[in-house]
Structures are given as structure tokens and as C-alpha cells.
Chain A
Amino acid sequence: MPSDERKGIALDAIRSRIELFHSAVATASDQVRGLLSGSGNTADDQSVALGHFAEGKVNVDRFASFAPKAARINDEAEAPIRAAQEVLTSLLAEGDELFVLQLEEGRGLGRQVGMRFAKIGRAFAAARVIELAKRGAYKEDKHAATLERFPFAQWNSSERALAPALVIELTGADLKPAAIIPLLDAKIKFVFNLDGDAPAAALSRVVSPSVFVQQETGDAPLEAFAGFDGMAVAALLPANAASFVHDPAAGETSFERFVSVAFPKEVKKRAIGGLSPTQQAEDYALLESLSVAPVATGDAASDPAGKLSAWLLSQTNLSA
């Protein structure tokens, strides 16, 4: 599948998160402008707001004297609020690209995601700066820097609940999903869009009871992922990977939560990035142990679990 098509699928899957974040930022941005222009506190603002139709017909200064006046901010507050407003505007101007991270090869997934979150977090910092400035509690030495970088660790729970999702474009060599586990909280979502080879059970290590995890090898939209109201991770992988959906809402035990699992017929026996065939087999075994219900009796070769076990046995030489 062409990568821009996959990027489209990935973005669609996080669209509602993007919109929620965007709408909160856009709304805040408009409110701040209102605060700064005092909704017509100056005759100039009022004259502009009244539009050109009024030119020569309305005495704008007089009109302004009747216009509703919002609480005026004091002069000390104005500079930090303007700086915060610029942050909001600049983040809005980035559009969808703010939520797409093209991973630079070999520079570490966790580090780069952390940096992007610190950038997105500037919106939260801006909101805080505005509140602080309004209350006269803004301290330049303490708060100015947060407008440049506001890392995930400093986000509070309601900020995390509003946190957007990220599409991460990367090669299989960089897909070490354990790196994002510390960033999973509230309703944060990640979609990995992989280029080239990928470990077949890449996401098995992020499966945990409350995280929605999906590996997808086809071109189906990630609807269940998009609709899940909580932490979620998905990966768009090449055809030779496993595909599965782990839905925390589907059951108590891990194998109940795996609502669909499909294993590939064969897996290439070679290292991907630093991940050796043995490590890949371990991931695979982990996925099997989580997703397949224990079978008490019956023909081992005819049920899925049995097939998987048989397959795993046939792969033992991988570790050689």
C-alpha cells in the first residue's frame, strides 16, 4: 500500500482526538484574542469589528463607548498572554502535521516522541501562562520556558485526557514499542506506520489489560481503535506480520480480550534492526501465550492454538 494511503488510514484513526485537541486550542485562541482586544476595549478594535459597512455611516468612537467591555487585563499580563497566544496560533497553523512524527532513524523512539509531546504540550503551558498572568501570578523566570517545551511528565490529568494522538512513521528497526509505555495514560493513542520489514508480533509487548492494541496488515480502517475510549496503540504493518485486535472491553482474561488474531503463514528468519530472530520469536511466543485460550483436550493440530504451537516448534532453529 502506498505510504500516503496508510498515513490517511492512520490519521483517520486518530481524527477525533486531533479534533478534540484542535477545538480546545482554537477555542482558547479565540478567547485569548477577546481578552487581548478586550472585545472592543479600544476604539480601534471596535471600529474594525464593526466592519467597513459602518465607515462613514457610524460614529465608531461613539459606538465603541456603548460596546460591552470585557474585563481588561493589566499591562504586565499582556506580554505573557500575547506570547501564549502566539504559541496557540503557531500550533494551530501546523494542522495535522503536528500529530505526525517522522522518526529519524536510529535516534530513539521514546526520545523523539517525548520531544513531540513537549512541543504539543506548549498548548497546555500557554493555557497555564494565560491563567497565571490573569491572576498576576506569572513569573517570567519560572514560566517563560514552559512555552518552549512542556514535557509529558508535567501534564496534569485533565491535560492528559485532552492529549492528542500521534501517528509515528518509522522503519521496523526503530519499532521498540516498549519505549512508549511510560507515555501511555488517559486517552493517549499511538499509530505506528511502518515502512519496510517489521517484526511479525511487534506490538505484543505493549499488550496490557487496559490498553487497546491492534496490529493491522491490510488496508482496513482502524475503526475499533478509533472508537476506543482510552489508551490505545496500533501498528500498520507489512503483510507478513501477525494481525490482531486486543480490546480491553472484550473480557476478563487476556485471550478473551483478543477479539481477532491471524498469524502469517511464514516469517523471514532474519534480524530487523537490532531485533534478532530470537527476540522476534519471543515476541511471537508472548503473543501466542496471551491470545490463545488454553485447550484441555482435542487434536492439537486442528485448533488454532495447536497450530501456533506447532508453528513455534518448527521455528526453534531461529534461535540457533
Chain B
Amino acid sequence: MSSIAISLLDLEADNFVCLEPEDYQTREGKWCAGCGDFGALNAVKRLLSSEQLQPEKMAFVSGIGCSSRFPHYVNAYGFHGIHGRALPIATGLKLARPELDVFVVMGDGDCTSIGAGHWLHATRYNPNLTVLLLDNNIYGLTKNQTSPTTPQGHTSNTTPRGSFLPALNPLQATLGVSNASFVAQTADWVPAHLYATLQAAYEHPGFSFVRILQRCPKFTPDVFTEQVKNPDLTELLIHEDGVNAPGLDKLFKARREHDPKNLDEARALAQRTDMLRLGIFFRDDSFPVYDEIRAVSPVSAEEKTTRLEKEFDRYAV
């Protein structure tokens, strides 16, 4: 079926209606009070409104977990799939419908544990997806189990005497993948930065991976308490090609000029644990984008029939 490409029959322009952020929400999010997912939802609504995206022309794909409820609350097409496997669905959708804006919402268990294989490969395919990792360092929906990003020593139902291993660093992992084209980190308690980061991610042509640090009010309320209280423990990565949110200058004194084109420095910064760093670690929009390099032009049924005849000549007896 080739009817999803541009068709002559679809040429008429749509009527323009201005959509406010609230127009992009279908219903109240059913997350716990204080959940970081609300902040992400608000930032996304602002982004959709500022871009004036048509609700039917975008899709939100998620896996399983608290954060994967996200699509239910957005006025768009949504796919609430299975645990860890949002990325294959989103990749297939984008291949099928490159003209749609496709967003992917995953939690830390979803993306970095059960879906880790897809995460690595989707990064390399570099399809034009805006990817949100809502990382609260814990499995919430299944009630408090250690995830790969849980800090070492943190107690949970599966590690009652503290988690055994150093936490996995999703930035480091993503930056290690060939063809990774956009890697950023932001936090739910800095809404202006969160919004500006999503904006940059949306504009980036390719797989834009945004790790959003957040707290689970039930199971990891304290993971970022220090950083929330004391902005000096956070360093903003700034650059004319980076995230430049207004009003943050006063709040964050630690600022580092980092050119997002510099992959070596990005990797070094992602690895360091001395401070929390927010901003765009890396971006390069010259990398091959899977849905662009694999784009195929539609062929009409009559043309296919003619070509099949030729194909069958090869097998004729």
C-alpha cells in the first residue's frame, strides 16, 4: 500500500488552528504526586504547542512502566507496547511513515535493561526519532526493584542490603555507539532546561536521545536531593550549538563551554562523576539517518505488475 506517501489527492492545505499546550493533553496523568513524569509531560506539551504539530501527524511510542503510560495522556496517536520494545515499533513506524513525528518514551528499566539491545541498535540506525529516557533510577510500576541505573548501595526490594554494582551510565553507553548523533541530559527539576533540551532534540534530524533525570516520589525520592538543593553541584554545558535556556545563568554558576561536535570531550564529560552535567553532550546532524537512506519511492500496482512479469521471465520454462 503506497497511499501513505504524498498523494496528489492530499494537496489541499489544512485549516490552521492555533493549539495551546493544554490542547495536547487528553486527560490527567495517573502518576503519583511529585512524579517526574509530570514535568516531562508538561515540557512535551509546550514543545508540541510551540511547534504547532497536528495531533494526527505524530505518534508517541512507549514500552512498559510508569513512564510508558505517557502516550495515553497526549493528544496524538500512541502505541503503548511491551516492555523494552518501544524502539523497534517506533523504527518500523518511522520507516513506514517518515512524514509523522515519532516520539519514544521509555523508563530506565525499559530502555537500559530489558530493551538494551534495541537501544544500542536503534542508536546506530539513527532513525529520526525523539527519544526520552525518563530515568528515575528504579522500577516503580513493579514496586521498587533495582534497575541498571540505580546508584550502588541503594536499597530496594531486590537488593535489600544495597545494590551491588555501580550504576550503568546511559550517556556513556549511548556515546559509545557508532553513528550516535544526539545525546543530551536534562532534569525534571529544571523545567526551562528540560523544555529547551526537548526543543533541540526535536529539531535534530536523527535519533535524539535525551536522558531526563528524575525522582520517584515513592522509591527514589532522595537520589538527587543534594543537586536539587544546591545548584552548585550541577554544571551546565553551554555552547552556541547547545542548549541555551533563558534565566538559568543566575541559578547555575558552574557552566562549561562544550562544543557538542566534540565527541572525545563528550565522552570524557559523560564519564566524570564529580558533578551532575546537563546539556547537549554530543550532536552531529551529518550522520546517516536510517529512514532517509532507506527511503523507497512508491510504485503503482500496475507498474509492479509489469515488473513482476519481467521478474518471472527469469524463471520461465
Contacts and interface: CB of A to CB of B under 8 A. Distances in A.
Decide if A and B touch, CB cutoff 8 A. Answer: yes
Interface of A: 19-20, 22-34, 88-89, 92-93, 123-124, 126-127, 130-131, 156, 158-159, 162
Given A89-B302, A158-B13, 15 more contacts: A20-B6, A22-B297, A26-B2, A29-B300, A30-B2, A30-B3, A31-B7, A31-B9, A32-B9, A33-B301, A124-B8, A130-B9, A158-B11, A158-B12, A162-B6
Nearest to B12: A158
A88 B303 CA distance: 12
Contacts, number: 71
10 closest Cβ pairs, A-B complex = A127-B8, A26-B300, A28-B8, A27-B7, A158-B11, A29-B300, A19-B297, A28-B7, A23-B297, A23-B298
24 contacts: A23-B2, A23-B298, A24-B8, A25-B8, A26-B2, A26-B5, A26-B298, A26-B299, A26-B300, A27-B5, A27-B8, A27-B298, A28-B7, A29-B300, A29-B301, A30-B2, A31-B3, A34-B3, A89-B302, A93-B302, A126-B8, A127-B11, A159-B11, A162-B11
B1 to A, nearest CB: 7
Interface range, B side: 10 to 19
Interface string B266-305: 0000000000000000000000000000000111111100
Contacts of A93: 302
Given A158-B11, A158-B12, A23 B5 contact: yes
Contacts of B3: 27, 30-31, 34
Contact of B303 (A19, A34, A92, A123): A92
Q: Which of A25, A30, A32, A93 has the most CB of B within 10 A?
A: A30
A30 B3 CA distance: 7
A292 B302 CA distance: 53
A127 B301 contact: no
B5 A24 contact: yes
B301 A30 contact: yes
Interface of B is mostly: loop
Given A19-B297, A162-B11, A29 B6 contact: no
A32 B7 CA distance: 11
Contacts of B7: 24, 27-28, 31
Nearest to A89: B302
Contacts of A89: 300, 302
Contacts of A162: 6, 8, 11
Nearest to B300: A26
Nearest to B299: A26
Interface in B1-60: 1-9, 11-13
Contacts of B298: 23, 26-27, 30
Q: Which of B5, B6, B7, B301 has the most CB of A within 10 A?
A: B7
A159 B11 CA distance: 8
A30 B1 contact: yes
A145 B51 CA distance: 42
Nearest to A26: B300
A85 to B, nearest CB: 10
A27 B6 contact: yes
Nearest to A33: B301
A32 B302 CA distance: 12
Contacts of A29: 300-302
B9 A28 contact: yes
A30 B300 contact: yes
Contacts of B8: 24-25, 27-28, 123-124, 126-127, 162
Contacts of A33: 301
A303 to B, nearest CB: 35
Contacts of A24: 5-8
B6 to A, nearest CB: 5
Contacts of B299: 26
Contacts of A126: 8
A158 B11 CA distance: 6
A156 B13 CA distance: 11
Contacts of A32: 9
Contacts of A156: 11
Contacts of B302: 29, 89, 92-93
A159 B8 CA distance: 8
Contacts of A127: 8-9, 11
A92 B6 CA distance: 16
B310 to A, nearest CB: 14
Nearest to A92: B300
Contacts of B297: 19, 22-23, 26
A22 B296 CA distance: 12
Contacts of A22: 297
Nearest to A19: B297
